[in-house]
Structure 1
Amino acid sequence: MDTDIIISQLIEHMREIVPLQDTDIDYITSKLQIIPLKKKEFLLREGEVSRHMRFIAQGSLYAYHIDEKGKENITQLGIENWWINDLYSYLSELPSRMYIQANEDAIILQISKNNLELLYKEVPAISEFWRLKMQSAYVTLQERTFEHSRVDAYTKYRTFVTTYRNIEQRFPQYMVASFLGITVEYLSYLRKKHLSDVS
């Protein structure tokens, strides 16, 4: 694992949104923790309090909760250069109601809530970065909530594959189906229909 490459990946991700000076980068780097995960390993479990913001440098992860029938319901899928977390637990400091697990071997860069608070004071650009990221996350959540209740399954699937190109190939069909709120069989039908429509 090349630590410099992993960290520069996050820095470039931040620089796409806010300007950073070399001194800023040194300070940010000092606050980061690198977490390697094996496939199926947990980053967060139900009942734990999420105390870090987490950036996926390599691999893929997914977040889910288990309903009263014991069924996994996937709420997030994440690949390289995405953030994954239980924001409810992180912001409220209450126990998480979900699990976050590695779908593939992965490398995570994380920063604790306490260290992030320090960064807000020492590197004002980081405060701006998170303000914009939180706005974006809220908009995405609103769009997904709207789609879930008002849009048909085929439109949801088409939006998913056009918005998140190549992500579908990274996850098993049952995970994609759960994320979209449909059965695996119906996902297979929608995929065939979509391929037929675009060919």
Structure 2
Amino acid sequence: MQPFDTGAAHERILRHVQQLIQLTEDEKAYFLEQLKPRVLRRKQFLVQMGEVCRFETFVVKGCLRAFAVDPKGQEHVVLFALEDWWISDFQSLSTEQPATLYVEALEETHVLQIEKKELEQLYLAVPAFERFFRLKLQNAFISFQNRIFSTISQTAEERYLAFRQRYPLIEQRVPQYLIASYLGFTPEFLSKIRRELATRR
């Protein structure tokens, strides 16, 4: 595995954060002190169903997926996360109840994590971070709401085209069967859609 480049990781997360809030040098230093670097191997779990999720996780490099497993053992992809995305089992993190999701690295992945108790202290020490994470949560809610709306109002082809337009990097890096799971298709049905689209070019 590649070594974790802490300096580059800190620069990346500060650029990301300062798109929404402005920090003093002391606030930057305090924030960075709370972050814990971690490297995940391909197929290693960040979170597993049944354990309590205790970290917010920022993706520095790599790709992860969050998925649930139904009673029949079928996996359902809920979320992908690439560079500059945050991921965790948000319900477990908030309620301190066991996670209902698995979060798995799809490739070697470098992350920065902040534990819930440090996050609460960060809100007190640097109040601007309450706004930052509130905006992130709002954006995540809007994304899930749009996904639900597309599921009930769009054709399968329209859903796939919207996904491809919104997340072009995901399609390039994630296996087709996982994209099919995210969209609620079988891999065979997604292959059929892609073939039909290809014939129209």
The TM-score normalised by the length of structure 2 is 0.95
Q: What is the identity, as a one-letter code, of the residue corresponding to 2:99? A: S
Q: Structure 1 stretch 145-154 or stretch 7-16: which is displaced more?
A: 145-154
- Cα distance, 1:167 vs structure 2: 1.1
Residue in 1 aligned with 2:170? 167
* Alignment partner of 1:55 out of 35, 55, 58: 58
In the alignment, which residue of structure 1 is the partner of 2:71? 68
Please point out which of 108, 113, 116 is paired with 2:111.
Answer: 108
Matched, 1:4 2:10: no
Specify every segment of 5 or more residues in structure 2 that has no aligned partner in the other structure, as ranges: none
Give the conservation status (yes or no) of the 8 Å contact 1:49–1:94.
Answer: yes
User: Given residue 179 of structure 2, which amino acid in structure 1 is its aligned partner?
Assistant: V
- The structure 1 residue matched to 2:19, chosen from 16, 21, 24, is 16
Aligned amino acid, residue 6 of structure 1: A
> Which residue among 79, 96, 100 is the counterpart of 1:97?
100
Q: Which amino acid aligns with 2:137?
A: M
> Are 2:7 and 1:30 aligned?
no
Q: Which moved more, 1:24-33 or 1:182-191?
A: 182-191
Distance change in 2, residues 1:175/1:21 (3 Å): same
TM-aligned CA distance change 1:48 to 1:190, over 3 Å? same
Residue 195 of structure 1 deviates from its aligned partner by: 4.3
Paired residues, number = 198
Q: Distance in 2 between matches of 1:52 and 1:144?
A: 25
Unaligned 5+ residue runs, structure 1? none
Q: Distance in 2 between matches of 1:81 and 1:141?
A: 18
- Secondary structure of 1:111's match? strand
